């Protein structure tokens, strides 16, 4: 798949390549990172019509000449798997944050907003991302909702998926197939989605945490090509041996890159990508985007050129982007100027041959497009406080155990009477927030260690209902009220007082502000959480995955507790 180009543009590029016409842009006195051979080439790079024309000639009379002074010219980075909504920013705000760090493209699954608004959410993301100084390729969501054990704001069946693929031919793939039990059980509705993508020549992204052996063979054999959920090097290696592409994830909640690198032997390096999956704004500002992850990967032993390929040529190969991932004739002039291949310090960023960022900043601010129907999406039941009063007073109960920097949970036991502030075990609830149905799932959680107050969020993967953890039902109801009043977002409360908040007006998922504004609000929220006793490094990211019933082991949805390993709802009380 190549980006469209006019015949006149092609003719001009051919003339420029042969030195018969001036170029729009020429890079000189630099080294070209050749992702095809692993070399650093000393060659001029000419650009015209938004594409690279030649590495052999520097035509006289070119409009602009850039002296690289020994720096490295490389393809702009591609994040092969990231949910833009999880940055808590609109596509415009996301681009402002990542383009200065060298990101030229992402393959993004919009199932977060699709779970709230269905195809209308997909269409909003496409509109909001048009005309940006980067390319966001939207895959077609496969799991809306992720399972039958939760209530989303929309439902997309096999026919909807097929229509989405036909309506959006530029979509590079079917989004991650999270319902891996549905694949293994041979559920026709699930398999029809995979088949619809195959019939249209599109790859299918995977999601198969912990899957091994015959189950992995069945899953991969259904036509699913990628996976970003590996937790160990052994798991990653097994998936590589099954012909899958393995995406090494380094996000905000799940950071698996270092653990997975031992699986990347020289022969396997051609089948990996480095991805983010979910990335919060404060991490984008503090660590950067893929540039920061590349620094980590190289410091942990990955070959620098293999690391670069994992965010350039390899993503292009997975998704069939025929004119991306390299600095070569005919390839898009989406380029980064790097100091070296260890620090991956990004000096300049070019999009279609035009400089769009320098020294860590965009050259021009980006306007926000109207969000329209993506606003005002939070509808809670009026009797929520009474619905939160259904916790058992005593007896043995199931408890969700959370871990810092992980989205997997443990299935534990506890006594209902031990829940509360400063007792190591708190109350948890997930409230359906799309239609005000009154569906409320109740549970208990360990690991937040709240002494007082409550935390609440409408970012709650993947159905994005309202998730709350608190020391009492009263505090939880107050936190829910604060979030509803904002039209969605994150909140921390104590004794009825709002300590900190981040309004997420767009679908209850995204802020209309900048990354810096969102990061400042998050920092205040983290400070508030710490003041309540929480020691988790990213409490709201951990909170947001408490309700995801496709990640082991015990999760909570608006329908109740889900044993992910058994893929069924289980009672809160133990017999």
Sequence-ordered strand ranges (E) for 345-404: 346-351, 354-358, 361-362, 396-402
Give the whole-angstrom CA distance, residue 404 versus residue 229: 17
The tokens describing 111, both together, are 């199932």
Q: Name, in order, each residue with C-beta under 8 angstroms of 262's C-beta and a sequence gap of 6 or more.
A: 233
181 or 24, which is more confident: 24
Does residue 2 register a pLDDT over 90?
no
SS3 category, 544: helix
**Contact criterion met (CB below 8 Å) for 319 and 197:** no
Kindly tell me if the per-residue pLDDT of 300 is higher than 80.
yes
| Best CA proximity match to 63, nearest among 363, 346, 353 | 353
All domains of the chain in start order, with CATH: 76-320 (3.20.20.140), 374-570 (no CATH)
Q: How confident is the model at residue 128 (pLDDT cuts 50, 70, 90)?
A: very high
3-state secondary structure 481-495: HHHHHHCCEEEEEEC
Exposure letters 297-328 (e unless 16+ CB within 10 A, then b):
bbeeebebbbbbbbbbbbbbbbbebebbbbbb
What is the separation of C-alpha 466 from the centre of its chain, rounded to a whole number of angstroms? 20
**Residue 95 predicted with pLDDT over 80:** yes
Q: Where are the beta strands (DSSP E) in 169-291?
A: 174-177, 204-206, 226-227, 245-249, 272-275
> Which residues is 492 bridged to in the sheet?
455, 500
* Helix (DSSP H) and strand (DSSP E) numbers for the chain: 18, 30
Best CA proximity match to 206, nearest among 241, 244, 173, 176: 176
Contact 499, 368 (CB under 8 A): no
Res 153: pLDDT: 97
What does the block give as tokens for 554? 């015990």
DSSP 84: G
pTM: 0.92
Q: Model confidence over 146-177: pLDDT tens digits? A: 888 999 999 999 999 999 999 999 999 999 99
Phi-psi region of 561 (alpha: psi -120 to 50; beta: other; left: phi over 0): beta
Distance CA 529, CA 540 (A): 9
Is a pLDDT exceeding 80 seen at residue 1? no
Side-chain half-sphere exposure of 81, counting CA atoms within 13 A: 29
Give which of 492, 385, 399 is closest to 447, Cα–Cα. 399
Residue 528 has pLDDT above 80, yes or no: yes
């Amino acid at each position: 798949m190549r980006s469209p180009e006019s015949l006149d543009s092609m003719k001009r590029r051919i003339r420029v390549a042969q030195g018969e016409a001036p170029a729009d842009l020429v890079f000189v006195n630099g080294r070209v990172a050749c992702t095809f051979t692993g070399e650093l080439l000393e060659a001029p790079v000419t650009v015209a019509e938004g594409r690279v024309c030649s590495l052999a000639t520097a035509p006289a009379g070119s409009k602009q000449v850039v002296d690289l002074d020994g720096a490295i010219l490389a393809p702009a980075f591609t994040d092969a798997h990231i949910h833009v909504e999880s940055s808590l920013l609109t596509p415009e705000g996301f681009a402002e944050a990542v383009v200065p760090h060298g990101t030229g493209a992402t393959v993004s699954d919009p199932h977060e907003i699709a779970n709230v608004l269905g195809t209308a959410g997909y269409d909003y993301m496409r509109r909001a991302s048009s005309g940006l100084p980067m390319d966001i390729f939207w895959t077609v969501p496969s799991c809306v909702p992720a399972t039958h054990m939760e209530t989303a704001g929309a439902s997309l069946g096999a026919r909807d998926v097929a229509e989405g693929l036909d309506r959006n031919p530029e979509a590079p793939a079917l989004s991650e197939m999270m319902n891996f039990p549905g694949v293994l059980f041979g559920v026709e509705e699930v398999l029809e989605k995979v088949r619809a993508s195959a019939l249209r020549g599109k790859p299918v992204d995977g999601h198969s945490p912990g899957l091994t052996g015959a189950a992995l063979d069945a899953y991969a054999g259904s036509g699913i090509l990628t996976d970003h959920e590996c937790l160990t090097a052994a798991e990653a290696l097994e998936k590589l041996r099954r012909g899958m592409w393995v995406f090494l994830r380094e996000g905000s909640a799940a950071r698996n890159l270092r653990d997975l690198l031992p699986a990347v032997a020289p022969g396997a390096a051609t089948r990996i990508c480095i991805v983010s999956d979910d990335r919060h704004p404060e991490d984008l500002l503090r660590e950067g985007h893929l540039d920061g992850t590349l620094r980590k990967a190289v410091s942990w032993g990955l070959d620098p050129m293999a690391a670069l390929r994992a965010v350039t040529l390899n993503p292009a190969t997975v998704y069939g982007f025929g004119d991306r991932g390299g600095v070569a004739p005919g390839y898009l002039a989406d380029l980064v100027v790097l100091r070296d291949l260890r620090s991956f310090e990004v000096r300049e960023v070019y999009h279609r041959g035009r400089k769009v960022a320098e020294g860590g900043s965009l050259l021009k601010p980006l306007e926000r497009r109207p969000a329209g129907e993506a606003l005002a999406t939070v509808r809670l039941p009026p009797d929520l406080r009474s619905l939160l009063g259904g916790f058992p007073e005593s007896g043995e109960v199931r408890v969700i155990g959370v871990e810092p920097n992980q989205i997997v949970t443990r299935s534990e036991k506890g006594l209902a009477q031990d829940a509360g502030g400063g007792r190591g075990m708190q109350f948890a609830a997930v409230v359906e927030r799309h239609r005000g149905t009154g569906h409320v799932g109740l549970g208990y959680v360990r690991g937040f260690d709240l002494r007082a107050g409550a935390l609440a969020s409408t970012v709650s993967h993947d159905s994005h209902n309202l998730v709350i953890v608190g020391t009492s039902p009263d505090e939880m109801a107050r936190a829910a009220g604060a979030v509803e009043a904002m039209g969605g977002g994150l909140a921390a409360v104590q004794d009825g007082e709002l300590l900190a908040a981040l309004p997420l007006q767009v679908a209850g998922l995204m802020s209309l502000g900048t990354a810096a504004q969102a990061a400042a609000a998050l920092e205040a929220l983290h400070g508030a959480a710490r003041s309540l006793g929480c020691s988790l490094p990213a409490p709201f990211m951990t909170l947001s995955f408490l309700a995801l019933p496709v990640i082991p082991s015990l999760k909570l949805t608006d329908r109740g507790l889900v044993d992910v390993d058994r893929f069924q709802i289980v009672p809160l009380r133990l017999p």
